[in-house]
């Protein structure tokens, strides 16, 4: 299915008060972008660059070797055992390695898990408190509380291999099997000082991984493009992110050896982050995108074989149907599936159908059972959504888990 994009409805206003927040960052994109790496390290006065990556990047690609060659005598060493969803134990080991090698800058090379893990390394190197007290707290019946992390952090350079929105954010989530939720930290000082969208590095990710991450980016762009905003900067970034992701994702699947679609998806992810900084994320996610994100996150965090994009594709259409509201028409309109003047339930059905059809054309699963998830696990998955700061940072209603379980069963 080829999507025919419409222009989502925006507020009828001649003037709006809004804000914009910019963070210092240098971006290098395209062929041989990594040629600028050593110069960027020197620009920050660093002499002991420590590389964080996963086993695949270190042993199945030439990316780590390229980084080492570019750094030359600026290379201090590497930790190559960051695992899926950045486990707490792996990050602790990476922190000890960085400390032992006298790291004064961190280079993260890989997907979202590696980039998030590098942020955690910077936090643990600098902060002296107990990580369990530094992480986000969830008081019973009250909004979540994210402690302020005040210590200066080492500069971070990110070399993403997938088009992940994690590339220049400030939130960190770590998997910890001893807890019933992720360890979550927030520190703006862990934003990268530089991003490298190196064409060869992006092509190291297999199609399945790039498609999974790209699906997550596309879905986030859809929710954003369908949202109402009075901020013209946010509106522009949302619409362009949606245009880029919508055209790039099918091209990625059709031409997996072309770096162009991967670069476009990186740009879409970057624009979504910029819009969030400019106020789009104030108040948190809307009800539909928040529920879909919480369910998808629960699925891919609990099961190692489930990617975030696959989880997103299996739950988002069902959540749109189950939470039909005034925004359903805008989602349908953004997908070119009508929406104008339609009742909420009809618009939700049209939007969900169009989205499911699009996912199918790029080879994504359509329901949770296709992920080989035991049906008996659904109640536990619903409980996993209870503590997810990015999905719901406010007080959770008493029936929150029951609501999420109902949605999850509808997606089964």
Q: Quick one: which of 200, 261, 241 has its CA closest to 62?
A: 200
CA distances from 271 to 31, 187, 238 (A): 21, 20, 7
Other Cβ atoms closer than 10 A to 380: 13
- Is residue 83 within 8 Å of 54, Cβ to Cβ? yes
Other Cβ atoms closer than 10 A to 376: 7
- Distance between CA atoms of 323 and 325, rounded to whole angstroms? 6
Helices 287-302 and 400-410 meet at what angle, rounded to 10?
A: 80
* SS3 annotation, the chain: CCCCCCCCCCCCCCCCCCCCCCCCCEEEEECCHHHHHHHHHHHCCCCCEEEEECHHHHHHCCHHHHHHHHHHHHEEEEECCCCCCCEHHHHHHHHHHHHHCCCCEEEEEECHHHHHHHHHHHHHHHCCCCHHHHCCECCCCCCCECCCCCCCCCCEEEEECCCCHHHHCCEEEEECCCCCCCEEEECHHHCCCEEEEEHHHHCCCCHHHHHHHHHHHHHHHHHHHCCCCCCHHHHHHHHHHHHHHHHHHHHHHHCCCCHHHHHHHHHHHHHHHHHHHHHHCCCCCCHHHHHHHHHHHHHHHHCCCCCHHHHHHHHHHHHHHHCCCCHHHHHHHHCCCCCCCCCHHHHHHHHHHHHHHHHHHCCCCCCHHHHCCCHHHHHHHHHHCCCCCCCCCCCCCCCHHHHHHHHHHHCC
pLDDT of residue 6: 57
Per-residue confidence in pLDDT tens, the chain, 412 aa:
566 555 555 555 555 688 888 899 999 999 999 999 999 999 999 999 999 999 999 999 999 999 999 999 999 999 999 998 899 999 999 999 999 999 999 999 999 999 999 999 999 999 999 999 999 998 887 888 999 999 999 999 999 999 999 999 999 999 998 998 889 999 999 999 999 999 999 999 999 999 999 999 999 999 999 988 888 999 999 999 999 999 999 999 999 999 999 999 999 999 999 999 887 665 557 889 999 999 999 999 899 999 999 999 999 999 999 999 888 999 999 999 987 789 999 999 999 999 999 999 999 999 999 999 999 999 999 999 988 877 776 667 788 899 999 999 999 9
pLDDT of residue 387: 83
What homologous superfamily does CATH list for 218-224+231-410? Dehydroquinate synthase-like - alpha domain (1.20.1090.10)
pLDDT of residue 127: 97
Other Cβ atoms closer than 10 A to 1: 16
pLDDT of residue 85: 85
pLDDT of residue 15: 58
Residues contacting residue 275 through CB under 8 Å, at least 6 positions apart: 224, 233, 234, 237, 238, 241
CA distances from 247 to 166, 216, 242 (A): 21, 14, 9
| Residue-range domain boundaries for the chain | 26-202, 218-224+231-410
Q: What is the CATH number of domain 26-202?
A: 3.40.50.1970
- Cα separation of the two ends of the chain: 23
Q: Quick one: which of 11, 27, 58, 85 has its CA closest to 269?
A: 27
Q: What angle (nearest 5°) sits at the alpha carbon of residue 219, between those of residues 216 and 222?
A: 155
- Is residue 371 within 8 Å of 311, Cβ to Cβ? yes
- Is residue 1 within 8 Å of 357, Cβ to Cβ? yes
Residues contacting residue 323 through CB under 8 Å, at least 6 positions apart: 287, 288, 291, 348, 407
- Distance between CA atoms of 165 and 284, rounded to whole angstroms? 16
- Distance between CA atoms of 23 and 283, rounded to whole angstroms? 21
- Is residue 408 within 8 Å of 315, Cβ to Cβ? yes
pTM: 0.92
Q: Is 49 left (phi over 0), alpha (psi -120 to 50) or beta?
A: beta
């Amino acid at each position: 299915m080829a999507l025919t994009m419409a222009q989502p409805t925006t507020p009828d206003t001649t003037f709006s008060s809004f804000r914009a927040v910019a963070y210092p960052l240098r971006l290098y994109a395209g062929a041989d972008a990594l040629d600028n790496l050593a110069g960027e390290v020197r620009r920050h006065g660093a002499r002991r660059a420590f590389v964080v990556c996963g086993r695949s990047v270190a042993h199945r690609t030439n990316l780590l070797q390229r980084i080492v060659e570019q750094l030359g005598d600026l290379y201090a060493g590497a930790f190559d055992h960051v695992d899926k969803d950045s486990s707490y134990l792996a990050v602790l080991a990476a922190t000890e390695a960085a400390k032992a090698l006298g790291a004064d800058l961190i280079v993260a090379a890989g997907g979202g898990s590696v980039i998030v893990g590098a942020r955690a390394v910077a936090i643990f190197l600098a902060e002296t408190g107990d990580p369990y007290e530094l992480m986000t707290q969830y008081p019973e019946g009250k909004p979540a509380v994210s402690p302020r992390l005040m210590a200066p952090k080492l500069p971070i350079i990110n070399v993403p291999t997938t088009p992940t929105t994690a590339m220049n954010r400030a939130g960190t989530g770590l998997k910890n099997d001893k807890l019933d939720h992720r360890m979550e930290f927030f520190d703006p000082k862990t934003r990268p000082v530089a991003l490298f969208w190196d064409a060869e590095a992006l092509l190291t990710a297999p199609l399945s991984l790039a498609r999974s991450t790209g699906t997550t980016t596309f879905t986030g762009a859809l929710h954003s493009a369908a949202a109402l905003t009075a901020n013209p900067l946010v509106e522009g970034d949302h619409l362009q992110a949606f245009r880029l992701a919508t055209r790039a994702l099918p091209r990625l699947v059709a031409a997996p050896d072309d770096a162009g679609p991967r670069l476009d998806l990186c740009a879409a992810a970057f624009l979504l982050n910029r819009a969030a900084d400019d106020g789009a994320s104030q108040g948190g996610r809307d009800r539909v995108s928040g529920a879909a994100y919480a369910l998808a996150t629960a699925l891919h965090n609990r099961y190692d074989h489930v990617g975030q994009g696959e989880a997103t594709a299996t739950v988002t259409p069902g959540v749109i149907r189950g939470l039909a509201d005034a925004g359903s028409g805008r989602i349908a309109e953004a997908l070119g599936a009508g929406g104008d003047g339609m009742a909420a339930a009809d618009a939700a059905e049209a939007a969900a159908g169009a989205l499911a059809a699009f996912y199918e054309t790029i080879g994504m699963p359509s329901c949770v059972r296709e992920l080989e998830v035991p049906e008996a696990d659904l109640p536990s998955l619903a409980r996993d959504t209870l503590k997810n700061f990015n999905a719901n940072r406010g007080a959770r209603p008493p029936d929150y888990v029951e609501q999420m379980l109902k949605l999850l069963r509808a997606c089964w």
